[in-house]
Amino acid sequence: MRIGLLTLLSTKTMIHRTIYIIIGILILIIGVIACSSFLNNSSHVWRTVNETIIYNGQPSPKSELYISPDELLLIDLRDQADGLYIVNPKTQEIGIPNESNFFTALGYVYSWDIRPSVAPMSKAETNPEIIIQPYEVEFTSVKKARVHVTWHLNL
């Protein structure tokens, strides 16, 4: 009779553990869905796209391109010891944002401001000679390097 009672208690314990594990997994799944929804819909979050960046005639595979919900482009050339650039394809303007305004993680960039302020390239005494076409931007950086960016949207 004693063995039967211990078996019954351990079966109940196993059932409780299983229920707790299932509840934990459900909470984790709901959290991932909520986080993904936030990242895809927040006006502060810029997403990465498939891009090709040519820096001074050489491929720059570690440089990144991000697009904001209102279709501003953030070009990250820090791997080239250059900087960040924001391009507005609609107005054909390019500027230099404050790097501390952005936080990068997991293929996304979070901006502390919905529309980050930028310093015009003329402040750096640089004529960017910007060329903007659909899915393509070319300009001269502050370091006097010619930058050519092409991309297509991740669907």
Instruction: Identify residue 60 by its one-letter amino acid code.
Output: S
Half-sphere exposure of 7 (CA within 13 A, CB side): 4
- Model pLDDT, residue 84: 96
Q: What angle do CA 33, 37, 41 make, to 5 degrees?
A: 175
Q: Which has the higher per-residue pLDDT, 59 or 18?
A: 59
Instruction: Identify residue 119 by its one-letter amino acid code.
Output: A
What is d(CA 61, CA 65) in angstroms, rounded to the nearest whole number? 11
- Among the ranges 13-22, 78-87, 102-111, which has the highest mean pLDDT value? 78-87
The overall average pLDDT reported for the chain is: 85
Does the predicted TM-score (pTM) go above 0.85?
no
Q: Is the pLDDT of residue 61 over 90?
A: yes
**What is the residue extent of each domain of the chain?**
1-41, 45-152
**Mean pLDDT on 87-108:** 90
